[in-house]
Amino acid sequence: MSVEPFDVVDLIRTKRDRGTLSTPQIDWLVDAYTRGYVADEQMSAMAMAIFLNGMEREEIRDLTLAMIASGERMEFSSLSKPTTDKHSTGGVGDKITLPLAPLVASFGVAVPQLSGRGLGHTGGTLDKLESIPGWRARLSNDEMLAQLDAVGAVICAAGSGLAPADGKLYALRDITGTVECIPLIASSIMSKKIAEGTASLVLDVKFGSGAFLKDPAQSRELAETMVRLGTDAGVSTVALLTNMNVPLGFAIGNANEVRESVEVLAGGGPADVVELTVALAREMLALAGQLDADVEGHLRDGKAMDAWRAMISAQGGDPDAELPVAREQHVVTADRDGVLVEQQALPFGIAAWRLGAGRARKEDPVQHAAGIDLHAKPGDRVRAGEPLFTLSADEPARFDRALEALEGAYRIGDEGDEVLDGGPLIADRIA
C-alpha cells in the first residue's frame, strides 16, 4: 500500500485558515478525490472553505488544470478549419446556441458545441433540440469529427471522459450549498471547455434576475477569472457581460424556443435574440480570423439556415418535422391600458419549470411542449384584455403553481414610468 504525499485534513485546515494551497497539493487533492481516497465529506469541507475564503489566481489555475488532467482531452488538429466555441452561464429563454452554432459554421469555421441539460429555472440546450423528432445528443468522438468536417457545427452531449473530477465535484457542490462560488464555477466551466480542445472561446456571462449570479460585479469577476484561465491555457478567450433581468426573446421552454431560433435563422426573430446572436458570432469569427464577416447577411440569404438543416439532419433529426404542441393553454391578459414596465426573468423561468419545461433532478424527463410564450416585452404599450403571455402544458393542473410563481413578476404602468429592464442587453466586453 503506497503512502499518500499529503494529508487531506491538513489541506482543509490550510484553506479554512485562509492559506494558499501549492500546485502539488491541488494536483494531489483532485487526483485523490477522483480515485476515491479523499471522501465526499472531506471534499465538502474543502469546497465550503473555498466558498468562504476564496482562492488566489494561481490556485484557480491549478485547480482547473488538475480537473482537466483527470480525464481525456479532445483534439481537432486534423480539421482543415479553425475551431471556436461559446459558453453561456445560463438564463431564461436563452436559446442563443441554436442559431449561433450554424451561423458561425456557415463561414467555414468549426463549432464543437458540447452542451448540457437544464436544471431548475435555466433551460438546457440539449432538451430544446430533443424536441425535434429523431435528433440525438450522443455522438462518438469520430462522429463529432466527421460532422465538424462535413457540416461545421455540432451540438451534442459531453462525454463522461472530459474532466470527470469536475462532474464528481459539481454533484457534491449541488447538495452542499457551495454552487455559487466564483473559483469553483470558473474552474468547473473552464476545465470542460479547455479539455474540449477548441482554439478559441467566447463566454456569455449573465447578470440580473434570471442569471446564475445576479450581481453584475460578481458576474464581472467570474468573467475576468474565466478569461484569465482560458488565456493562461492558450485558448483565445473573450467574454460578454449580458443582461438577464428580462427573458430573452418571446419563447421560454423547449419546442417553442426551437421555433423562435428557426425564425432568427430565417432572417427574422426577436430583436434581442438577434442582437446577442450577431454579437457573439462576430466575437467567435474574429477569434477564428474572420474580422469582417457579414453576419447579418448570412441570416438574410439562407446560408445560416442551410447550416442548421445540415446540422440537425446529421444528428438524425428532421428539420421539417412538426414540433410538439401542448394539449392545454392558459392566456393571461392585461387588466388595464398602459405600458409593460416590468417582467422579471427568474419568476418566468420558475413558472416554465413548473409547467414541465424543466426538471428538479437530472434524471427527470422534460415536457418538450410545455413553456411560456410572451406577447409583450418591457416598454411595449398594452391594452386591457390583450394577451400578455400564454402558458402551455400537457396537464392543466400545472397552471396554478406556475401562476403562483408569476405573482408580482410583471407590472403595467403609465406612459413615462421607468421601465425596469436592467439597461442594455450587452453591458461590457472583457478580453
Which tens digit of pLDDT belongs to each residue from 211-233? 989 999 999 999 999 999 999 99
Rounded CA separation 216/240 (Å): 12
Q: pLDDT at residue 123 above 90?
A: no
The CATH code that applies to domain 328-413 is 3.90.1170.30
For residue range 86-121, list pLDDT tens digits in order.
999 989 999 999 999 999 999 999 999 988 876 667
Mean pLDDT of 111-134: 86
- Report CA torsion sign: 373, 357, 270, 410: positive
Number of other residues whose CB lies within 10 A of the CB of residue 303: 18
* Per-residue pLDDT at 362: 63
46 and 29 in contact (C-beta within 8 Å)?
yes
C-alpha cell belonging to residue 59 = 490556485
72 and 161 in contact (C-beta within 8 Å)?
yes
60 and 21 in contact (C-beta within 8 Å)?
no
CA distances from 148 to 42, 77, 103, 293 (A): 42, 12, 14, 20
Q: Report residue 85: phi and psi, to 5°.
A: -140, 170
The full set of domain ranges for the chain reads: 84-159+192-321, 328-413
% of the chain at pLDDT higher than 70: 98
The DSSP H or E segment spanning 250 is none
The CATH code that applies to domain 84-159+192-321 is 3.40.1030.10
% of the chain at pLDDT higher than 90: 87
Could you tell me where the DSSP H helices lie in 151-247? 164-174, 182-195, 216-232
User: How many residues are present in the chain?
Assistant: 431
C-alpha cell belonging to residue 117 = 441539460
* Per-residue pLDDT at 119: 62
Supply the residues annotated as catalytic. Answer: 87, 166, 173, 188, 192
* Per-residue pLDDT at 335: 96
The rounded Cα 174 to chain-centroid distance in angstroms is 17
Would 84-159+192-321 and 328-413 be classified into the same CATH topology?
Answer: no
For residue range 289-332, list pLDDT tens digits in order.
999 999 999 999 999 999 999 999 999 999 999 999 999 999 99
Mean pLDDT of 244-264: 97
Q: Enumerate the β-bridge partners of residue 112.
A: 154
Mean of the per-residue pLDDT values for the chain? 94
Mean pLDDT of 137-145: 93
Rounded CA separation 223/230 (Å): 11
Helix axes 182-195, 40-53, angle to 10 degrees: 110
Rounded CA separation 118/110 (Å): 25
Q: Enumerate the β-bridge partners of residue 83.
A: 110
